[in-house]
Chains A and B, each alone.
Chain A
Amino acid sequence: MPEFKKPHALTDAPLHYCPGCTHGIIHRLVAEVIDEMGIEGQTVGVAPVGCSVMAYDYFACDMIEAAHGRAPAVATGVKRANPDTFVFTYQGDGDLAAIGTAEIVHAATRGENITVIFVNNTTYGMTGGQMAPTTLPGQVTQTTPYGRNTNVEGFPIRVCEMLSTLSGVALAERVTVVDPANIRKAKAAIRKGFEFQKNKQGFSIIEVLSTCPTNWGKSPVDAIDWLKENMMPYYPLGVYKEGAIR
């Protein structure tokens, strides 16, 4: 019987994430894929600014800490310097879809041969729960205390849908980690992304719908229910684009 243990691609550093946060699960999935593909020694990860800023301490592969939003550009520099390296970025919604919009769009349209793990929890978690580009209409955050008013703050960005229009994208898939079945699907999607990269077939992004119990003001279980009821209708799960560009 297989023993349940930490993947080799995660270090022994204790994670700092809040109780009920799904970052831990997503980290694990990425690490399991790295282990299963046997590529830890050839992988360079790029951490963002946001809750997962210290991902560089948690992943056991070589890591780079990027400035806010710049991870896709940093990853591009790594990949172009050494095209045989596996390169992934791990980014949140504020990092990727607000301050780093230019970087993600252009890395995608160049077909940059990297894998992006995009964690969407509709909020800026680290700074205390401000409105993110993915905050839902009507959603209360620290900077939308009356709920996101689309007349004032505009509308959320659907990243997978947007990027799937670009020719450089080999994989754009939205998954979630709310239950074991979905966690298995999420892992399969991440694996697919790394396989595309291995075969030099283009840019891959896996968007993971995630919870933020602390800033949503909910228990972990309630947060998962809220995600299912509110986020999944607005951000439907599924494959938005799949197919080698080269």
Chain B
Amino acid sequence: MERKLMKGNEALAEAAIRAGCKCFFGYPITPQTEISAYMSKRMPKVGGVFLQAESEVSAINMVYGCASSGIRCMTSSSSPGVSLKSEGVSYIAGADLPCVIINVMRGGPGLGGIQPSQADYWQATKALGHGDFQLLVYAPSSVQEMADTVTKAFDLADKYRMPALILADGLLGQMMEPVAFEDVDISFGDGSDKEWAARGHNNERKHNISNSLYLKPDELEDRIVERFKRYDVIKANHTEAECYKTDDAELIITAYGSVARIAKAAVDAARAKGIKVGLFRPITLWPFPEKELKAACANAENVLCVEMSMGQMIEDVKLALECKKNVEFFGRTGGIVPKPSEILAKIVEMTQKGAE
């Protein structure tokens, strides 16, 4: 396969098309606008649909309509825009529809900044909208993974009839790295394989309804309980994580996305000093790879969670480890990317404390 240099945002867009995403509904916001730009160029050439919506709210509701028809579709945004989409995401989850949503995170709250951030972890994994639901959340950490996870996201979203989110950040979206795509013939389904799709019943069946309204509490409870049974299956089968030099590690760094790249450099620097450090990188943030983390920390006493936020994933790390390990935090926020040297300093501090 030929390797091409592509920006993360562009690789993701191309991979989505190759995964059969027929419709893309976008709205401009830094630092993810390359996705819209790429789609606007490419979609008309492959028989797909690119539409620039009048708002983030409309874009996600176009996704809701398109997904109701059983057609693979996607929207993308960055933090403030994703907040606007949260209404539609909740309806999509409530109607059990598959789709893919991209958040190329920037600093917040409010308008925040336009530099990379990971401050939307809670939003993505706990509450991207009101009500009892989850999204599948993938956190790629390279341009190749931006491409690979979008394919997985579409497949699992379809399989479990739920929205999937790719949680990236400005650094991953804007950077170029080599990426290779498998040769595929681009083809879009018409939704006819989805027996639930509201795409015209052709006088062949009872009408389908795409809906999240259940006024009778027992009906609504049944729907939600059924949904959470699907979530249990996903938790049991679809967690993903990468372990780097964790086997003999006395200190495990947990980091996801672009920060994991920087943490890897810090691990190498610490190893060069003879400190036994490893990196645990969740690839799925929901479901969180709890078992994998426990196993990776088997020989470690100390865990250092590194994030581009004030500390959000750290709560899941502590929960997974059931408070049996010493979990500390290092983060930069507001759009500042931590330096390997800063992480290394924290590693040294923690290991020295342990030695005292």
Contact = CB atoms under 8 A, between A and B. Distances in A.
Contacts of B191: 81-82
Interface in B76-133: 87-88, 91, 95
Interface of B: 22-23, 25, 49, 51, 53-55, 57-59, 61-69, 71, 73, 87-88, 91, 95, 190-191, 197-204, 207-213
Given A73-B58, A106-B58, A53 B202 contact: no
B58 A62 contact: no
Given A40-B203, A65-B211, A82-B190, A74 B69 contact: no
Interface string A69-94: 01001111111111001100000000
A166 interface: no
Interface residues of A, number: 37
Contacts of A235: none
A244 interface: no
A236 to B, nearest CB: 29
A80 B51 contact: yes
Given A81-B65, A102-B55, A103-B61, A65 B212 contact: yes
Contacts of B49: 80-81
Interface in A34-69: 40-44, 46, 53-54, 56-57, 59-67
Given A62-B207, A63-B209, A66-B61, A77 B68 contact: yes
B168 to A, nearest CB: 24
B65 A64 contact: yes
B198 A77 contact: no
Contacts of A54: 213
Nearest to A70: B61
Contacts of B211: 56, 63-65
A64 B97 CA distance: 12
Contacts of A44: 68-69, 198-200
- Can you list the 5 inter-chain pairs with the closest CB atoms, starting with the nearest? A77-B65, A73-B61, A77-B66, A74-B65, A77-B62
Contact of B88 (A41, A59, A61, A67): A67
Given A42-B202, A44-B198, A67-B88, 11 more contacts: A63-B207, A64-B64, A65-B210, A67-B64, A67-B87, A70-B61, A73-B61, A73-B64, A76-B65, A81-B23, A81-B191
Contacts of B199: 44, 62, 78, 81-82, 85
Given A56-B209, A62-B209, A63-B210, A81 B203 contact: no
Given A44-B198, A62-B198, A74-B61, A80 B54 contact: no
Contact of B65 (A46, A56, A57): A46
14 contacts: A40-B203, A62-B198, A62-B201, A62-B209, A64-B68, A67-B64, A67-B87, A76-B51, A77-B66, A78-B65, A82-B71, A82-B190, A102-B55, A102-B58
A102 B27 CA distance: 14
Contacts of B66: 77-78, 80-81
B89 to A, nearest CB: 11
Given A75-B65, A80-B49, A81-B23, A42 B200 contact: yes
A11 interface: yes
Nearest to B69: A81
Given A80-B23, A102-B55, A43 B200 contact: yes
Nearest to A42: B200
Query: B22, B54, B61, B213 — which one has the most chain A CB atoms within 10 A of its CB?
Result: B61
A62 B200 contact: yes
Contacts of B53: 73, 106
Contacts of A103: 54, 57-58, 61
Query: B65, B68, B91, B198 — which one has the most chain A CB atoms within 10 A of its CB?
Result: B65
Query: B63, B191, B210 — which one has the most chain A CB atoms within 10 A of its CB?
Result: B210
A64 B207 CA distance: 10
Query: A56, A70, A73 — which one has the most chain B CB atoms within 10 A of its CB?
Result: A73
Nearest to A40: B203
B213 A65 contact: yes
Contacts of A53: 213
A73 B62 contact: yes
B64 A77 contact: yes
Contacts of A79: 65
Contacts of B69: 44, 77-78, 81-82, 85
Contacts of B95: 65
Contacts of B203: 40-41
Contacts of B202: 41-42
